[in-house]
Structure formats: C-alpha cells, structure tokens
Structure 1
Amino acid sequence: MRHPFSAAFLFALIALLSPAGSADPAAKATVSLKSGANVTRLLLTVPKGSSLKPQAGRADQLIVAMEGVDALPGLPNPAGDRYIAALHTRSKAKGRIDLIVELRPAAEYRTLLSVTDSGNPSLTVDVTAGGAMTSRPPPTPVAKASDGPHRKRFVVALDAGHGGKDTGALGAGGSQEKDIVLAIARKLEALLQAEPGIRPVMIRRNDEFIDLRQRMERARKEHADLFISLHADAYNDPHARGASVFTLSEHGATSEAARRLADRENAADRIGGVALHDKDEVLASVLLDLTQNATLEASDRAADSILQALRKTHSIHQPGIQKAGFVVLKSPDVPSILVETAFISNPEEELKLRSSAYQNQIAAAIAEGIRNYLKLARPATVAPPDRPVRQEVAVSATDNVVK
C-alpha cells in the first residue's frame, strides 16, 4: 500500500527547495519515468545544494526550473506514454536548467516536493487523465496583521483527551486526566487566539464523551491545518516522569490507508481535496499515498518543533519523537500529533498538573512550538530543517492503540 518515495512536509504545486550549501559546479540531476495503466510517475532528483521549482507553462506543459544543476543526462523517452508526450531540457545559464514536460491533451498533473533520506531535493510528478485527480491548492500563507481580512488563518484543532464517561488516567491524589487536559487545552486556546493568523478550534469544550474517530473527523470538517491531542500519561512505575510527543507509526499509516481504500466506495468525503470513490484501486492508492506521506512528514516537523519547545522548560520522558498507532492521529490529510504533558501517575507531576501555573507553562511551550512550526510551514520557507529521526517504540501489541 505504501509507495517508495519520501513525501515532503508540505503540499506544494509551486514551492522552492534550497538546502544549505553550494551545489557542485558539475552537478547532475537524475530523472526517471514509470508508466502505468492509469498514471505516469516522473521522479526528478537534484544534488544537495541545488533547488527545484515547478512552474506552470502552457496548459499542456509543466516546467521545472533547476538551479545549481549543469546537466540532466539519460532523459527518458516517453514515446507511447498515455499522458506525457515529450521531455526535453532548456539551458538558461550556467548552473540553470529547465526540464520541460509536454503533456498530452486533457492530461493533468499533481506535484509533490520532497527531500530524500540523503538530503537531495526531489520532485514527484504524477500525470493522469483530466478529471481523474484534482491537485490540492498550496497552503495559504499565515496571515500577518497587515494581510487583510481575506487571508485564511492557520487552523489548529485542540483535542483534550478523554471526557464524559471516559475519565482517562487517575492520579493518586484523585486527579482525572480528562479534567487536567481540558484545562490545558483552554489555556492553549487563549494563547493561540492572541496569535495573528491562527484560529484555534476546540474538539471538546466541556466534559463530554467523543468517539476517537469523531474527534479526527471533527478536525477535518474544520479544515484543520494541525491537530494536537493532549493527554497526561500513566504508568505502573510512580517514578516515571516527563513529557512525550507522538506521531503516527508507519504501520498505523499503512493500516489506515488500507481501511480508507476498502471503504472508498461508501465514503462521501475527500482526502486531500481528492475524491477516491470513483477511482480504480491503483490510482486511488497513489493519490492517498501522496496525501498521507506528506501528512506524516508535516506531523514529524510539528512534533519536533513542539518537543524542542517543551525541552526548554520541562523534563522529557523520551529524547525523540515517539511512534504509535493512536486512532486520533490517523487523519490522512491533517498533520496530527499527541502530547503526553506529564505523568499523572507520578505524585510530584500530578501536583504540578493540577497547578494553574504549570498548566500555563505547558500551554506556553506548546504554543511556542506551534509558532516555530509555522515559520517552517509558510510557503516562503526556502530551506526546511533536516527531517527528524523517527524513533519507533513499542507502545502496543496491536495497531489500534486508543487514547
């Protein structure tokens, strides 16, 4: 179900990747072409220090501007391909080459910028019949005070874990997880409301029970750009302490993709702006994979920003981003993270969690992490930081971990 390419943290039709450093003056790009029955995939990779910028040409053309590249050898011949008519290059100046993709009539494409595991900027282009897929528009820039009223604000969905009949973990002093995380969520909401360009959305405002998948779907209906689920951890060792940040495991992503594809005939919603119900299995799988891979990348980047902010003022239980199959993290097109704020089972941390001052500190750290993530998520960003290392941990014997 997974496809062999690393997705970027950001959907982009027009974006720029410029990793730090200078390109080799004799740098060469590589390009491959794979034709299928319903989609043709082009993969273009340039050396470290080079840059890629997809640009719309004529209606039947895609131009990819490359800087820091002197040659593109081994250009594939798409003769007989259903969707791509021709590929050719155009030299503009030393170290500047355009790759021109000539499309057949009625073909349309979807682009995805990424960075390979070795740090090379890469561009994936999927071309198929017109109407078969719709490109998701690039993220709207985060509004500034002078941006005016028509800029879309960055929507952050705040999910206070548990609620109602589900109390969550219980502290030795009688504290209930559902109450503590709701208090933190309200404080975080207030902080984000004061941030220009951000619109926080509370998944639950009161002591109510909400199904796990309903939480995820509520965020999608609000067109959330980031989903944050707040919890207070518990463990049988009362000395366990510190905060943790989780994103979805690869296994969880794969099982969710399988579930979505199996249910697509009955699904009325759209994944990443694309309806899957009318697509054949191969094309639906490609489209879902494009969306889900980019979401996983964005989730990791958001998680890393929040973890670094928490590290400044709070003890951390694990040094890196943790992985699990939490149901609330399975939205295929909304970057999602889960924050364990502290161990409610630790008497010392339970007392802190009950403190309004400590709740404010936790909320402030998460808000700082969100702000730092937004600096990276803006389309003007040129050089995203290195991809965080994914640290797999055994959380449950099954994928359907619930929080």
Structure 2
Amino acid sequence: MSEPSFDPARRRVLNLAAASFLLSVSRVGFAASAAKIVAVRIWPSSTYTRITLESSESLRYKQFSLANPNRLVIDIEGVQLNGILKDISSQITAADPFIKTARAGQNTPDTVRLVLELKSDVKPQLFTLAPVAEFKNRLVVDLYPTNQQDDPLLSLLEDYNKGKLEQPELKTRPKNSQDIGRPILVMLDPGHGGEDPGAIGPSGTREKDVVLKIGRELKRLIDAEPGMKAYMTRDEDVFIPLGVRVAKARKLNADLFISIHADAFLNPSARGTSVFALSEKGATSTAARYLAKTQNEADLIGGVKLNARDPYLAHTLFDLTQTATITDSLRLGKQVLGKVGSLNRLHRGQVEQAGFAVLKAPDIPSILVETAFISNPDEEKRLIDPDFQGNMAAAIMAGVKGYFKQGAALAVRA
C-alpha cells in the first residue's frame, strides 16, 4: 500500500499547526516552572534601605547601574510581571533617603526589569536567601550610602557583609565605677527589626515595635541621669545582624549591653518577665534553651549575605576575661530582675543563662531582658500599654543604677 500524499499547501498548514502546538506546550511548561513573586517589601532607614522580593523559587538576576539620573537596574530572569511587582512604586516614600522612584516592567518574555531611580550614589549589595521560618525564597537588595560615615554602624555593616568584622582588643576594667571620671556608656539593643518582626502576639502585635518603644524610653531615662549616656543598636525599623550589634557595643567601648525582647513560647499560657545572661556550659532550663535558639535565628530570618563565623572564636571565648564578664552580667541581671519583679510577675525567680549570640561580647557585662511573653494574650495587652512600657524602662533603669551602686567595674578606654 502506498503512503497517502499531501499537497504542499496542506503540508504547510499541518507544519504550522504542529509548531503552534509545540510552542503552546513549551509555554505551559515555562509557566509551570517559572518563579512567581509573592511579596515585595521595602525597609527605608538612615542606615541603609533594604528591598526584599519573596518568590516561590530561587531567583536569577543581573544588575547594572546607569547615570543621569542615577539608577540601579535589576533584571530578574524566569519571572512574569504581576500585580505585586507593578505595585512596587506605591511602597516608595518621600522619606526614603536613597530611592526616589521604582518601577517594574516585562523586559523580555521571561525577564522582568526592576529600575530604582536613586537620590544619591549608593553601594548596592544583592544576595539571595533560602526559605526560612514563614519566608519563601528571597532576593535581597541592600542600598548603602557612599558618602555618610558618621555612624560607626555603617562601616560595621559593610565589614560584616564582606566578612571583615574585626574585633578590638579585650578591654581591662578598673576596680569600680568611681575610678574614672567619665560617663557610663550603656548600649541598648531593641531586638529584631526590619524584615525580622520577632514574635507576633495573638492580636498581631509585633515584638520589634514594642521593644523599640521600651528601648527609646530607657535611653531617655539614661541620658537624663548625670554621668550616664545611652546608645542604641537600632533606633529605626531596620534589620541589624547579631554580630554587628555586639561589634557596635565594643567599638563604642560600652560598659553595659542590654538587649530588650518580648518573646513567645510554644505554650500561650507562659507568662512573666525573665532576665538572661550568657552561659559557659549550656542553658539553665528548657525555656532558656528554646528562647536562645529562636533569638539566634534572627540572622537567618532578617537575612545576611554570609554565614559569618562567630568572631569571638578567635579568642579563647571562655577564658578568664569571659568568665569575669559573665559574673558581672549575673550581678547586673540580679539587680534588674529584682526591680522588674515589682512590675510584673517573674517567669523564674533567678537570672537564667543560655547561649544567646547577642550576649557574647567577652568584655562587656551583657543581659537580655524578656519584658513579657507577647504570645500570652494578657501580657500582649500590657506590652502595648504606654504606661507598662514606661514602667518597664524605669524598672530596668533602677536595676542598672543598683548595679553601679555596688561599685561595678568600668572599662578602661584608650
């Protein structure tokens, strides 16, 4: 039997139909595998501005800069323009110190182009983050200033992202606080910030917001006290890596480090205020171990460019200096615990210890205050009460003053 014959015109129609079918199949396959942008968030601050693009799959990108006007262009491959990307311009505020406008468009069939028009020269740093906690894949765009070096935190952030977080020499300490006629410097560390909200209360209260308010009030009280001065690791809604928080305290030669939190626990009935110091051997309770683990994950949630090694491993971490510092931390913690206990019930009647990364300055007495459990509905209500926030700050301040009345040591500064 001979094969059927087709006239040339009919053959061309069949070939076109087959090509159209294959193209549609390839497009379906591409659509099924393409990354989808599910959220865009922008965190402007005087320190740096961060943009995160959250997606269903890891993103591939290219970047370049243009002048007149200054623009940062980011081509995101394997992505289709959607409403979330189109709406990016609505997230740019006039107060953003670095970004003037933002727009997104479909540059090629499989590439979205994001254009950031800038107010000044910036040092852009882009990196991706794997899924963690409730976040999917993220592309992070950090915009650092090129002409502002007033805040020591700026250089610390840059060094951290480059893996060059150098540590100063260990400080020695005189006999007591009366030996040096200078202000006592206290570094206050409101936990979390920016992309990292911290714990979330039953009604949606964010830990990062509450602790920033308490930190600001505590700073006001310290600055009003003769012979004392307070600094903050963050005074904005901005993400600061844990290592940078510690390094800033050491760079400013702080005498104390107080980290402020309002954490959550697995059981919503957990309640009370707690005070923690660093541990040499391990956590003093299951709750302490759990809280340290959640706090130490802040860098994963907030997002840093590299998994920086612990800078204090270069020293013998738990040498005589560290041991003496922990002893002083426990004394400070005991004083603070005694004062906050008159404001709120205590979760435990003693200062607890665990491996909190933010408490690892080898030569600065450091404590972490869990002001209340934001996961407890009753305590969440207290945490958003301005009176409670002010009273908590006053109680911590009273504990600090009590610590120095005992003749606590201060650091010798070069």
* TM-score of the two chains, using structure 2 as the length reference: 0.49
Residue of structure 2 in register with 1:202 after alignment: 232
More helix by share: 2
Are the aligned partners of 2:192 and 2:239 in contact in 1 as well (CA < 8 Å)? yes
Q: Is the 8 A contact 1:212 1:328 kept in 2?
A: yes
Partner residue of 2:363 out of 333, 336, 347: 333
Q: 1:142 to 1:179 in 2, by over 3 A?
A: farther
Unaligned 5+ residue runs, structure 2?
1-168, 284-308
Secondary structure of the residue aligned to 1:313 is: coil
Shift of 1:190: 0.7
SS at 1:369 equivalent: helix
Which residue does the alignment assign to 1:167?
197
Q: Whole-Å Cα distance in 2 between the matches of residues 229 and 307 of structure 1?
A: 14
Q: How does 1:319-398 map to 2 (within 5 A)?
A: 319-378=349-408
Between Structure 1 and Structure 2, how many residues are aligned? Answer: 217
Which residue of the other structure, out of 174, 181, 188, is the alignment partner of 1:138? 174
- Say which structure, 1 or 2, has more relative contact order (CA 8 Å, 6+ apart): 1
Residues in 2 aligned to 1:158 and 1:152: alpha-carbon distance in whole angstroms: 19
1:157 aligns with 2:157: no
Distance 1:166 1:238, change over 3 A: same
Measured on the aligned residues, the alpha-carbon RMSD in Å equals 2.6
Partner of 2:320: 290
Superposed displacement of residue 199, structure 1: 0.8
Query: Aligned ranges for residues 43-122 of structure 1 at < 5 Å?
Result: none
Aligned CA distance change for structure 1 residues 196 and 353 (closer, same or farther; 3 Å): same
State the 1:325 CA deviation.
0.4
Which residue is 1:87 aligned to? none
Measured in 2, the distance between the counterparts of 1:161 and 1:223 equals: 20
1:263 Cα offset (Å): 3.0
Runs of at least 5 residues in structure 1 that lack an aligned partner in the other structure? 1-132, 144-149, 265-284, 381-403
Inter-partner Cα distance in structure 2 for 1:295 and 1:361: 28
Asked if the contact 1:191–1:364 (Cα under 8 Å) also holds between the matched residues in 2, the reply is: yes
Runs of 4+ in structure 1 over 4 Å off: 258-262
Name the SS of the counterpart of 1:342 in structure 2. coil
Q: What TM-score do you get using the length of structure 1 for normalisation? A: 0.50
Whether the 8 Å contact between 2:275 and 2:370 is mirrored in structure 1 is: yes
Partner deviation per Cα, 1:294-334 (whole Å, 9 max, x = no partner): 10110000000000111122111111111110100111111
- Shift of the alpha carbon at 1:171? 0.6
Deviation string 1:221-255 (CA, Å, 9 cap, x unpaired) is: 111111000000212322211100000111369xx
Aligned match of 1:183: 213
Residues 362 and 379 (structure 1), Cα distance of their counterparts in 2 relative to 1, 3 Å cut: closer
| Counterpart-to-counterpart distance in 2, 1:197 and 1:367 | 14
- 3-state DSSP of counterpart to 1:372: helix
Deviation at 1:142, TM superposition (A): 4.8
Q: Contact 2:185/2:255 (CA < 8 Å) preserved in 1?
A: yes
Equivalent residue, structure 2, for 1:250: 280
Q: CA separation of 1:173/1:138 partners in 2, compared to 1, >3 Å: closer, same or farther?
A: same
8 Å CA contact retained: 2:282, 2:353: no
Shift in alpha-carbon separation, 1:208–1:139, aligned structure 2, 3 A = farther
The answer on 1:317 being equivalent to 2:347 is yes
Distance 1:153 1:236, change over 3 A: same
Q: Secondary structure at the match of 2:229?
A: strand
1:304 pairs, out of 330, 334, 339, with 334
CA shift in 2, pair 1:263/1:135, >3 Å: closer
Q: 1:252 to 1:219 in 2, by over 3 A?
A: farther
Partner Cα separation in structure 2 for residue 231 and residue 288 of structure 1: 25
Percent identity reads 47
* Cα 1:217–1:344 shift into 2, 3 Å: same
Distance 1:361 1:303 in 2: 17
In the alignment, the residues of structure 2 paired with residue 185 and residue 214 of structure 1 have an alpha-carbon distance, to the nearest angstrom, of 18
- Mark the CA change 1:301 to 1:165 in structure 2 (over 3 Å): closer, same or farther: same
Is the CA contact (8 Å cut-off) linking 1:142 and 1:153 kept in structure 2?
no
Structure 1 residues 261 and 324: alpha-carbon distance in aligned structure 2, compared to 1, 3 A threshold = closer
Query: Where does residue 314 of structure 2 map in the other structure?
Result: 263
Pair 137,230 (structure 1): closer, same or farther in 2 beyond 3 Å: closer
**Closer, same or farther in 2 for the Cα pair 1:135/1:237, shift >3 Å?**
closer
The letter for the 2-side match of 1:220 is R
- Greater Cα shift, 243-252 or 347-356: 243-252
On the 8 A contact 1:140/1:151 being kept in 2, the answer is no
The residue type paired with residue 341 of structure 2 is R
Q: In terms of Rg, which structure is larger?
A: 2
Q: Which amino acid in structure 1 is aligned with residue 236 of structure 2?
A: N
- CA separation in 2, counterparts of 1:142 and 1:186? 27
